[in-house]
Structure 1
Amino acid sequence: MEHHHNHNHGHHHHVEGKNLLFSIVLNIVITVAQAIGGVISGSLSLLSDALHNFSDVLSLVFSYVAHKLSRKKASNDQTFGYKRAELIAAFVNALTLISVALFLVYEGIERFFNPQPIKFGLVIWLSILGIVANGLSAVMLKNDADKNLNMKSAYLHLFTDMLASVAVLIGGFLMKYYQWFWVDSILTLIIAIYLIIVGFDLLKESTQMLMLFTPSHIDVNEIISEVHKIPGVKKLHHIHVWYLNEEELHLEAHLDCSEDIKMSEFNILLDKVEHILFEKFHINHINIQPEYKKEEDSKDFIVQD
């Protein structure tokens, strides 16, 4: 079986793990401050925000560990290394986003029907702290989030934390000047709905990669059509296309040759196939099994092995 690893990664990006580490430290400070402030002020929303931040600390730590693992080299026991660790982290983080959102929905409804007076001064100052710290962390990860699903999950946690702190701040001012204690519940529900939406999108994307689904932008029939245009190709079949991680898009398939050619001639044919697959579909890991008049029960394009 011929294997080709195209070293010209069209989608390779260097992600800064140190930004994630800095965000972890900031979130630990915020969590402790908001938890203490929530107890002193009697603010359930502040305690909920502290819980949200605590879930973020766990998620960020998980993302950081996964990021480090993904850089470890392959070995005899782990032939792919830990390249899928960041996909697992993104999947878990998506689940925690949705879980926290459901908890906030419950707490928001409970608080709406049972509003309580709060020491709003402490709430206002601690929410400002949350906005500044989470906002700074989110800005630091924004560039990495555009390139890496694991970093995107960490960024979404921080960004929604910042929004939650904004909601707490608005609620604090409304409680201070208008005694509208119920508004905190409404803002909490809005944030929770947003969390569910972004969490579901992230969960769907990470699940598709973990399940080795064909990427949504890849049309297998188009791949077949393009490869079949190459002289010497009879049929491309037994095709599988998947992401190992966000930087490595793999294809494996069987290639029926139209002539009984030598291996050196097949290498020339393979170069043409690899060029088409990389240039038009950005597939950078290609594994092709050559065949000539091989009798099989199935020559379908897609085969469940």
Structure 2
Amino acid sequence: MGHSHKHHKHHKDLGGRNLLISIILNIGITVAQVIGGLLSGSLALLSDALHNFTDVISLIISFTATRLVKTKASLKRTFGLKRAEILAAFINASTLIVIAGLLVIEAIERFKNPQQIESTTVIWLSMIAILGNGLSVLLLKNNAQDNMNMKSAYLHLLTDMMASVAVLVGGLLMKFYRIWWIDSALTLAIAIYLIMMGWNLLKNSFKVLMLFTPEATSVKAIVNDIQTIEGVKNVHHVHIWQLNEDEIHLEAHIDFNTDILLSEFEEILNEIEELVYHNHDINHINIQPEFGKCDVKDVIVQD
């Protein structure tokens, strides 16, 4: 069996220092908002504090994952811990949805029993939260572009910054127009947005963990491309999966027209490697060569 891979993609420095700064900022924001929410009676402020607390947890998980992913492969962990970041993204997305569900319940209860709120405290604390979360968002923005783990942490912070903006608007409306129900309405809006963002990330990380074929990858196109190579008779028993943000793996059986030499197979293997990397962004391949073998020739075979 031939195995080959390309290292054209490199695991980026995920900014551990920026994550630590964000963790410290959010701990401070959370403590301030809890105290302010209890003093003012604002559910929106308390819900924002709760979300900030989940931000702290998510950032710690993300930071831990960036350290674990560098663990070297061993006899017991042949892939190392390369999937730590995907697992972190899945956990963080799950917490977003759970917290959002709790906020919906609290908002509905507060709609039934609206309460007068000390709006001045809400306004000042929401402004502090906007500044703190805004700085954290800027620190993590670049690394969130192409890394699911960092994106999960980034989304926690971005949605919380938006939530703080909503809380600020609500505080101003309560202060100048005495619209008390706006606190519950904003809490509900924040929760719905969290569910939308969290579900998309949860779905994507789940697909990677379950070894689904990446959405941008066409199995049929890959098979057709390989079968254009001279000497290749059939491509079957194909598996394609995404190990982490940097690696997409292809495993397949290839039937050859003739009983080729091992040296000839190595040349064809290199050709396949170049083809699937440049055309389909696959950087790890594992090929089982066959000649005249009586097995199932379907592209997808249930193991």
Q: How does 1:129-168 map to 2 (within 5 A)?
A: 129-168=128-167
The SS at the match of 1:236 is: strand
Q: Which amino acid aligns with 2:297?
A: K
Alpha carbons 1:27, 1:57 under 8 Å: kept: yes
In the other structure, the counterpart of 1:303 is 301
Q: State the Cα distance separating 1:123 from its structure 2 match.
A: 1.0
Q: Identity over aligned residues, as a percent?
A: 59
Alpha carbons 2:44, 2:186 under 8 Å: kept: no
* Dislocated runs of 4+, deviation >6 Å: none
Query: Normalized against structure 1, the TM-score is what?
Result: 0.97
Q: Any idea what the Cα deviations from partners look like across 1:35-76, whole Å, max 9, x if unmatched? A: 111122222221121111111111111111111101111111
Alpha-carbon distance between aligned partners in 1 of 2:20 and 2:298, rounded to the nearest angstrom: 48
Alpha-carbon distance between aligned partners in 1 of 2:206 and 2:42, rounded to the nearest angstrom: 37
Alpha-carbon distance between aligned partners in 2 of 1:138 and 1:102, rounded to the nearest angstrom: 24
The SS at the match of 1:245 is: coil
Gaps of 5+ in 2: none
In the other structure, the counterpart of 2:22 is 23
1:51 and 2:50 are equivalent in the alignment: yes
The SS at the match of 1:283 is: coil
The SS at the match of 2:49 is: helix
Alpha-carbon distance between aligned partners in 1 of 2:12 and 2:297, rounded to the nearest angstrom: 38
Aligned residues: 303
In the other structure, the counterpart of 1:2 is 2
Alpha carbons 2:58, 2:153 under 8 Å: kept: yes
In the other structure, the counterpart of 2:221 is 222
Gaps of 5+ in 1: none
Alpha-carbon distance between aligned partners in 1 of 2:189 and 2:47, rounded to the nearest angstrom: 14
Q: Any idea what the Cα deviations from partners look like across 1:168-220, whole Å, max 9, x if unmatched? A: 11111111111101011112211111111111100110010000000111111
Alpha-carbon RMSD? 1.1
1:247 and 2:246 are equivalent in the alignment: yes
Q: How does 1:143-292 map to 2 (within 5 A)?
A: 143-292=142-291
Q: Which amino acid aligns with 1:67?
A: T
Q: Which amino acid aligns with 2:3?
A: H
Alpha-carbon distance between aligned partners in 2 of 1:13 and 1:60, rounded to the nearest angstrom: 18
Alpha-carbon distance between aligned partners in 1 of 2:185 and 2:119, rounded to the nearest angstrom: 17
Alpha-carbon distance between aligned partners in 2 of 1:215 and 1:93, rounded to the nearest angstrom: 21
Query: Normalized against structure 2, the TM-score is what?
Result: 0.97
Alpha-carbon distance between aligned partners in 1 of 2:253 and 2:70, rounded to the nearest angstrom: 31
Alpha carbons 2:147, 2:245 under 8 Å: kept: yes
Alpha-carbon distance between aligned partners in 1 of 2:13 and 2:228, rounded to the nearest angstrom: 36
Alpha carbons 1:94, 1:200 under 8 Å: kept: yes
Alpha-carbon distance between aligned partners in 2 of 1:42 and 1:51, rounded to the nearest angstrom: 14
Q: Which amino acid aligns with 1:207?
A: F
Q: State the Cα distance separating 1:12 from its structure 2 match.
A: 4.9
